[in-house]
Amino acid sequence: MAEAVVITQPGRVELSEVALPDLEPGQLRLRTRVSLISTGTEGIVYTGRFAPGTHWDQWFSYPHRPGYSLVGEVSGVGRDVTGDFRPGDRVVALLGHASHHVADAGLCTLVPDDVSDEDAAWFALAKVGFVGMEAAHARVGSSALVIGAGPVGQMAVRWLAASGAAEVTVAHRSGGLRLDLARAGGASAALQDDLDDGLPGIPAPAAVIDCTGNPDVLTRALAAVADHGRVVMLGDVGDPSQQRLSPDLIVRGLTVVGAHGRHLLGEREHDVRRLFFRLVASGRFAGMSGLVTHKFTPHECAEAYALLDAGRSDTMGVIFDWQ
């Protein structure tokens, strides 16, 4: 048996015992070390704030086992496992918040010794930020605006900085910690601004990445980007029908593109994870210190999700410590 976090219905979460499958050929048995809450996605599922008939409604039902950012320790190796996996190795995998897992070895990526558990736990949200950076066509010397300085926005900022973008501006409706972390991650400018009145005093960027999940932001992103620029929708909205286009799209020849972590799969996903680890270890993925703001034991899961519902803006990385 294993212990797992389960959202039984909107607004209710508990730690439950679940059956652990037998170890089959090609699989690894994992003991979880830490798992990072995806505060945006899991917050929407926890509260049930998504519209009927949307992709959210298709992907999630209750009871639901949340989570997809896990760092585990290999405790068993099945027959016919390909790759250099040994008991005691640390790996990351897109697995839920649970004390133990049995998973296909092909879904797991080794964590280098010089990357901590807390830093490694960002691998899944780092992938999302990478997809957004690619969709923005970021390159050396380019300019970009990231709207939203939450966990995904922080990862997007760091990928843009590592890619050599010359100007990386972050706009967030509240100031304080989130803007400070964005500056530490490589943002050249950090604005406490909801962009209702446009982008103040800064040249329009070639790309805007919306990381908010707020449907009202799309029209502001379209107004902020340069002529013939790209607007990347990276924050997933609970009710996409609430998003609205503006005349900027046609009049100024803009491109709007959707980006999602599901767009990066297979061996390339492992390549991006390994690149993320190399950049973290070398310090080029800057400002990782301080990204984890809250830690909970799994038995405190109700408290953790209540915090996300009542005060998500006061959090950044929220981790379950299973050790």
pLDDT band at 59 (very low <50, low <70, confident <90, very high): confident
Provide the percentage of residues in the chain whose pLDDT is more than 90.
Answer: 86
For 305, other C-beta atoms within 10 Å of its C-beta total 25
Q: How far is CA 198 from the centre of its chain?
A: 26
- Tell me the mean pLDDT in the region 239-245: 93
Q: How confident is the model at residue 208 (pLDDT cuts 50, 70, 90)?
A: very high
**Mean pLDDT, rounded, for 34-51:** 93
pLDDT over 90 at 175, yes or no: no
Instruction: Please give the structure tokens belonging to residue 305.
Output: 């999700």
Beta strand 90-93 pairing with 109-110? antiparallel
Q: How far apart are alpha carbons 264 and 36 in whole angstroms?
A: 20
User: What's the gap between Cα 111 and its chain centre?
Assistant: 18
Query: What pLDDT score was predicted for residue 176?
Result: 87
Residue 209, token pair as written in the block: 């990445």
DSSP string, 108-119: -EEPPTTS-HHH
Q: Which residue has the tokens 């926005």?
A: 153
As a whole-number percent, the residues of the chain with pLDDT over 70 amount to 100
Report which of residues 265 and 137 the model is more confident about. 137
Task: State yes or no: pLDDT of 14 exceeds 90.
Answer: yes
Phi and psi torsions of 239, nearest 5°: -135, 85
The per-residue pLDDT for 269 is 97
DSSP H helices, the chain, are: 39-47, 55-59, 117-120, 123-135, 151-163, 177-184, 217-224, 248-251, 267-282, 301-311
Q: How far is CA 201 from the centre of its chain?
A: 30
The number of helix segments (H) and strand segments (E) in the chain equals: 10, 15
What is residue 196's predicted lDDT score, i.e. its pLDDT? 86
Distances (CA, A) of 300 to 9, 295, 320: 17, 10, 9
How confident is the model at residue 202, as a pLDDT? Answer: 86
Return the SS3 of 47: helix
pLDDT reading at 198 higher than 90: no
pLDDT of residue 56: 87
Confidence of residue 55 (pLDDT cuts 50, 70, 90): confident
Q: What is the pLDDT of residue 215?
A: 94
Mean of pLDDT over the chain: 95
